[in-house]
Structures are given as C-alpha cells and as structure tokens.
Homo-oligomer: A and B are copies of this chain.
Amino acid sequence: MMLPLLDKTRPLARQIYTGIRERILSGSLPPGMRMTSTRDMARQWGVSRTIVINAFEQLSAEGFVEARRGSGSYVAAGASWGGAAQRSRKGRSDAVDLAPPPTPPRGCGAFRTDRVDFRSGLPDLTRFPVATWQKLSRQVWSVLTPMDLSYGQPEGNRELREQICRLVGTKRGVRCHPDQVLVTAGTTQAVGIVTRLLIAPDRSSCILEDPITNDIVRIVENAGGTIEPVPVDDQGIRTDALPRGARPAMIYITPSHQFPTGATLPIQRRVSILQYARSHATYVVEDDYDSEFRFDAPPISSLQGLEPSCVIYIGTFSKTLFPSLRIGFVILPPALVARGRELKWFSDLHNSSPDQLVLARFIADGHFARYVHLMGKVYARRRAALVGALDRAFGSGVRVLGSPAGIHLCARFAGVRFTRSVVEAIDRAGVVVYPAEAHAIRKGRFTDTLLFGYGMLDIPRIEEGIVLLGRAFARLNAR
C-alpha cells in the first residue's frame, strides 16, 4: 500500500486516517482488501503503533474498515464513491466565490468618520454607561442559577416583561399585562412575527406609510404581504387616503414620530385610523421606535392606550440603549398572545437569558430612566444646533419637517434635486447625506428632502457638516 507523506507539524493519527480514508473513498484501496497490520504500518511510517491504532479506530468507527476476528482489518464494501461521481467532490470549500451580501437597511454598515456622516438610526454610542452595564452583568451572573442557563420561555424573562410593562405603561400610556409582552430580537424580529401573525394567503394587503423605512417594506414582502402605500403629509399618514372597501391584514404606522418625515399623528387622525381598523376588522401596528425622545412636550401618548384590543405595539432598546443588544418587544392583544409566542419559539426559541436579566435590572434600578433623560437633553441640544445651522446656511431655502423629537430630522431644500451625482458631490465636500426619496415607495415627492441623523454627532461636528454642505451647494450652483 502506498503511504501518504506525513507532515510532522500536524496530528499524525489524523493524517493517517485522512490518507487511508481518501484512498478507500476513491476506490484505490478496493473493498475486501486486507489492510497491512498496524504493527507493520507503524514500522513503515516510523511512528508509534498507538498512533496507527488511533487512526484505525476512527476508520473502524466510521465504517471504512472492518475487523475480522483473528485475521486483521479489511476495506469495507460500499465506502467508495464508485467511479464518475468523484469529480464533484472537490473544490468549492476553499475558493469561496461570494455574491455581494444583501444591502443592509436601517442604519447598518460602517459609520464614516472621515466625513461628517448624517446617517440616521444610530443613538450616541459613545455615551452608553458601559461601566454600569458591566456592574449589573456581574451582579446578574453572580446570582444566576443553572436553570437560568437552560432553555427559557419564548415570551421572555418574567422580570424583563414586568419592567417593560411598567415602562410603557408609565411613559407611553400603553395598557397591558406582562403576559402580553413578547420579548424579541429587536424591531426586525417583532415585525417579522407580526407579519406572520396577520398576513394570510387570502388577506395579504398591508397598509404602509409612504415614505417608510425600507426594511419594513422588505420584511412585509418577504412574509408574503402586498404593499398598499398611503401617503404621509406634515401630520403623518393621510387617513383620508386609506383605501375604502379593502380587507387589509394590517396598518403599519409610526404615529409618535413618523419615519422618516418626523410627523406626529394628531388625535383626530388617531381616532380615524382606529375607527377604520375597527370597521375593517384589522389591526394597527404601532412602531414606537424612538418616542422616548421628545423635546417640546412630554412624549406623545401611544395609540395602543386608546384602543388596546386592536393595536399591536412595538418598542425597541436599539435607539435608547444600543442596537447590537438586539432586544425589542411587542405588546400583543390577548387574542394574539399564544400564536405570537409560538412564532417566537419557531424563530429562535427565545432571547439570550443573561442579556434579558441584565436589561431588566438596568431598568429596575432606574438607570434606563436616567440615561434616557440625559440623552433626551443631549439630543434636544443637537437638534436645535442642527436647525440653527441649517437656518444660518440656507435661510428660507430650507424647511425643517416634523416634530422636535427623536434622533433624526428631515429638511426640504427649495429647488434642489438630490440625485446620485449631487449626493456624490456633497460626499466629496466631506459630508455624507441621505436623500429621503430613498424611503419613498411611490417616487417623486421627496426628491428635495434630506434625512439627517444627529444621534452620533456632537454639536461642533453637526455645525461643521452643515457649513460644508452649504459650501457644496454653492459650488453646485456655480456650475
């Protein structure tokens, strides 16, 4: 038998195993052939017999060779590819020819620091109280029981659900019981579960605000939903434009702070939309992604609090704490709780238990409220600085949309079209800007609008960015 060459730097038994295995699979050691004894092999290779025996034990355990009592080992039948099939066995594992990964929506990807990057959707990640989080994590791990390490419940940890329930009850006027809370891996998973709860083959139409975050559109389509866009104006979704005679599976809205326009839905439209939902026997999905930050008044009350039985409320800790924690939640009407838990179970069983316990303690000990309060003041000043800078640079040429809230704003620039080449010219001037038109389902209404995130930028950087933007505009106009 020809011996494979041994490389002294790698485990010898593994090499002998692999060498013999390849020869059996390829058929060069044919079925029924008697193997050289382990003693002889060890001598031929110049290795200890134990090494050869280890290799043989593996070959035998996997069925490549059979020991016959008293007469040694034989190549087993059926352990080779047998002829032509071998060709395709090699190859694609080393040279990986990857298609480009899918375009990641909602604030993913690198935040550029070589530019003033007005990316939206990111809170200030430099201020997160890491030391506090670490301290709570230590506390949680020190009292963790073995059962906390075991499989948990799909709806999430009881302590966390109680904290969430209290939080949204106090701050958002949400009316719920902890058993209605489903802890999710962020808003994305919450939307995925809600779409699968509500969309049926014979009821797939989903009413969405237009413009809207791109990833919501993609998740809805991915779940088999058909998109029914309803335009947004300065007050949010235009309830007079809701489709009549339809049987929508759901109405997905961001009433506290419309994304991206920043509009707050007034009570009149809230009443309309709830009446619409009731008369069409459908659910309103309230995505309350950044409502914790409101600068001119207390946070707007939730839609859910007006009509808990037909509103599904979605919240997230991505904008208040940090996105890579991947914790959000959904408040389900009682009728949907059992199926919601089942869908969560099928998605990933449940969220990481230690993470949930640390978060529950972060809220219970008051750190969440303090941090949100602090960041609200920070974001209020940044927004004011951004509005002031826009005013100084563009005067009556700019109009800021929406309510003073959240971590982004939209602004219309009179007579400008933010085409790709304009955005690239602005990029070359040192500023990354984001056209709101990218979020429009029906194109054409927001070509003059930019979306500015200010969560990750301090005031000097915001002001620098707008000065650079002004210069880029001047240069574009001079052409």
Query: A interface vs B, CB < 8 Å?
Result: 21, 25, 54, 57-58, 60-64, 76-82, 85, 88-89, 91-94, 96-102, 104, 106-111, 121-122, 125-126, 128, 130, 133-134, 137-138, 141-142, 144, 146-155, 175-177, 179-180, 184-186, 188-189, 192, 218-219, 222, 264, 266-268, 271-272, 275, 278, 296-298, 300-301, 306-309, 322-326, 333-335, 337-338, 341-342, 345-355, 456
Contact = CB atoms under 8 A, between A and B. Distances in A.
Contact of A144 (B88, B130, B298): B130
A4 B153 CA distance: 41
A155 B76 CA distance: 40
Nearest to A309: B92
Contact of A348 (B102, B186, B338): B186
B271 A80 contact: yes
A151 B188 contact: no
A275 B326 CA distance: 41
Contact of A308 (B63, B93, B142): B93
Contact of A346 (B76, B80, B82, B222): B222
Number of this chain's copies in the complex: 2
10 contacts: A63-B267, A79-B268, A93-B309, A98-B338, A111-B147, A111-B150, A128-B146, A137-B137, A188-B348, A323-B349
A346 B348 CA distance: 13
Given A80-B271, A104-B151, A324-B151, A96 B334 contact: yes
Nearest to A307: B89
Contacts of A107: 150-151
Contact of A106 (B146, B151, B334, B353): B151
B355 A352 contact: yes
